[in-house]
Amino acid sequence: MTTLWPAPAKLNLFLYITGRRSDGYHNIQTIFQLLDYSDMIKIEINNSGDIDLLTDLINIPKENNLIIKAATLLKLKSKKILPLKTGAFISIQKKLPIGSGLGGGSSNAATVLVALNYLWKTQFTVYELATLGLQLGADIPVFIYGFTAFAEGIGEKIRPIKIKEKWYLIVYPNINISTSEIFSCFNLTRNNKNYNLQTLLHLPFSNDFEKIVRTNFIQIDNIISFLLNYAPTRLTGTGSCVFSVFDIESKAYDVLKLIPQSFTGFVAKGINISPLRKLFYEKLSNKSL
């Protein structure tokens, strides 16, 4: 049986670092805004016992890919109920650039956990899947829950929120930025005050990584400066994509036509419920989900 599953992008509408923990991780406050723009993951379950990613991704060895790690972890945690020869062949139609701040790798891993939980009939709850996902990456739980959310801690403390579904012009400058390297910058702001959500929603939105990224990547600085002439514009995540916010879809497309040809851009709608969440509720009447 072969099935197709979406792995949607996210934006960080704001991103603040509120402290560095003793384990080296950082506490943050952010809004994860989901988008109606997705990678698509095709999964064929098999009885060979093999878990294999059939799509080669540049500069990411298969054994280091979050897709393989997620499938392997789920199989390991389910070894008491799964037949030994349970496996899956996985391929991906990649739309979300790697290292862009759109959450592609985390979203891929989340989709694989949700999809294989259904296909293998392992019957983990959403909370249990999110707990597994957190072992692989702090952004994975929000994609498993599948709703736009306010997040704290390292990103794992999630509260669903509903906000106006606006249109976003996302511009990728064809640069990959390492999350670990950007977090290690000595001049990164790490001591923002913790505010409650209602206060944060009434403050100007910003991203603590943006100043560092704009200083070190002139192309990103230039495109942000350009887009600010047309709409509020910020960096998402740790980069390298930037996004502009529009109330009207056509205006986003008008500005898309103006970006330099050396950049990649697209327009997507912000959504409060992800296509992955909608799909698995359509597919299942499985009460555990």
The total of structural domains in the chain comes to: 2
**Do residues 171 and 202 share a domain?**
yes
**Do residues 35 and 126 share a domain?**
yes
Quote the tokens at residue 26.
Answer: 């950082």
List, for residues 71-90, the tens digit of each pLDDT value: 999 999 999 999 989 999 99
Out of 39, 75, 139, 208, which one is annotated catalytic? 139
Q: Per residue in 215-226, is it b (16+ CB within 10 Å) or e — as a string? A: eebeebbebbeb
288 among annotated binding-site residues: no
254 catalytic per annotation: no
pTM of the model: 0.94
Out of 10, 39, 69, 75, which one is annotated catalytic? 10
**Do residues 69 and 90 share a domain?**
yes
56 catalytic per annotation: no
Q: Using the predicted structure, report yes or no on whether residue 158 has a pLDDT greater than 90.
A: yes
57 among annotated binding-site residues: no
Q: Whole domain around residue 81: which residue ranges?
A: 2-162+275-283
**Do residues 157 and 185 share a domain?**
no
**Do residues 101 and 211 share a domain?**
no
284 pLDDT band (50/70/90 cuts)? low
DSSP state of 203: S
List, for residues 203-232, the tens digit of each pLDDT value: 999 999 999 999 999 999 999 999 999 999
Question: Which residues make Cβ contacts (< 8 Å) with residue 246, sequence separation at least 6?
Answer: 166, 167, 168, 169, 231, 252, 255
Q: Give the span between the Cα atoms of 189 and 151, in whole angstroms.
A: 18
100 among annotated binding-site residues: yes
98 among annotated binding-site residues: yes
140 among annotated binding-site residues: no
Whether 24 is covered by a domain: the verdict is yes
